[in-house]
Amino acid sequence: MSSPHDPVKIGIVSISDRASTGVYEDKGLPALQTWLTQALKNPLQFEARLIPDEKERISATLVELVDAGCSLVLTTGGTGPAIRDVTPEATLAIADKEMPGFGEQMRQISLKFVPTAILSRQVAVIRGQSLIINLPGQPKSIAETLEGLKDSQGQSVVHGIFDAVPYCIDLIGGPYLETNEEVCKAFRPKTAIRPPQTSN
């Protein structure tokens, strides 16, 4: 039986000198894959990469994933002010368009928890028909920025960035992403909402 939802290929990239050389276990890729699998109804194919904090290597990996047909590429790690943190520079270097609202919203969410959120330099860009977003390095922060903040009744207090991702991908000609609303609720203008599809 085929799925009524568009299949989606997603690139997930964990950027860490120490995890990529086996000094410690990478937790970024499992966190990204778990959250996306819970959040999306679409059949997902993941292209995962674990690489060191090297600007040219990061840029080349992002280009490779876009060329491989990933509609969405999420990175984790390398967005702080430390000397080896070069993920934003590597991302901007291969961008067609910058999407500054994503970084602004991620910092707003993180500021609810820590004042050092202003040191985060996450960016989001479009290359071709792909959306690339730099996420924080900690698994807890990854979930918070994607999902946003909810009150004790489960109502959204601060929108997570993923609420805007499906419509952004619509606008650049990508597949139609459908979310599980208990995790996050994609926002689209009424004219952009596709009627429910039925399985064959």
Range of the domain at 138: 8-192
Residue 59 in any domain: the answer is yes
pLDDT tier at 121, thresholds 50, 70, 90: very high
> From CA 144, how far away is CA 63, in angstroms rounded?
27
CATH number of the structural domain spanning residue 60? 3.40.980.10
Percent of the chain having pLDDT more than 90?
Answer: 88
Radius of gyration of the chain (CA): 16
pTM of the complete model: 0.95
For residue 1, name the pLDDT band (cuts at 50, 70, 90). Answer: low
Q: What percent of the chain has pLDDT over 70?
A: 97
Judged against a pLDDT cut of 60, whether residue 199 lies above it is answered with no
Q: Give the side-chain half-sphere CA count within 13 A for 115.
A: 0
How many domains in the chain?
Answer: 1
Q: Flag whether 90 is in a domain.
A: yes
Band of the pLDDT at 152, cuts 50, 70, 90?
Answer: confident
